[in-house]
Amino acid sequence: MTTTGKDRGATAGRALHRRPQLSDDVAAHVRGLIMSGVVRPGDYIRLDETAADLGVSVTPVREALLTLRGEGLVELVPHRGYVVAPLTRADVHDLFWLQGQIAEQLAIRATPAVTPQVLGEMRDAKDRLAKAVANGDAAQVEDLEFGFHRLLNRLAAANKLSWFLLGALRYTPAHLYSSDAQWGATAVASHEKLIAALEAGDAAEAGRITRAHFADGAERLLAHLEKAGIWE
pLDDT tens column, 138-170: 999 999 999 999 999 999 999 999 999 999 999
Query: Cα(46)–Cα(189) distance, rounded to whole angstroms?
Result: 41
Phi first, then psi: what are they for 76, rounded to 5°? -95, 120
Give the residues across from 76 on adjacent strands: 82
Measured at the CA of 25, the angle between CA 155 and CA 215, to 5 degrees, comes to 50
User: Does residue 217 surpass a pLDDT of 50?
Assistant: yes
Name the band, by pLDDT with cuts 50, 70 and 90, for residue 232: confident
Task: Tell whether domain 5-84 is in CATH 3.30.565.10.
Answer: no
> Residue 164, Cβ neighbours under 10 Å: how many?
15
Break the chain into its structural domains and give their ranges.
5-84, 89-228
Query: Cα(211)–Cα(190) distance, rounded to whole angstroms?
Result: 11
Q: Among 3.40.50.9100, 1.20.120.530, 3.40.50.1860, 1.10.3720.10, what is the CATH number of 89-228?
A: 1.20.120.530
Side by side, the strands of the sheet bearing 74-77 are 44-45, 81-84, 74-77
17-21, 113-117, 118-122: lowest mean pLDDT where?
A: 17-21
* CA count, 13 A, side-chain hemisphere, 170: 18
> Identical fold at 5-84 and 89-228?
no
Phi first, then psi: what are they for 44, rounded to 5°? -90, 140
User: Does residue 7 surpass a pLDDT of 70?
Assistant: no
What digits encode the pLDDT tens for the residues 172-216? 999 999 999 999 999 999 999 999 999 999 999 999 999 999 999
* Dihedral of the alpha carbons of 53, 54, 58, 62, in degrees to the nearest 10: -100
Contact (CB, 8 A) for 13 and 175:
yes
Contact (CB, 8 A) for 73 and 31:
yes
Phi first, then psi: what are they for 217, rounded to 5°? -60, -40
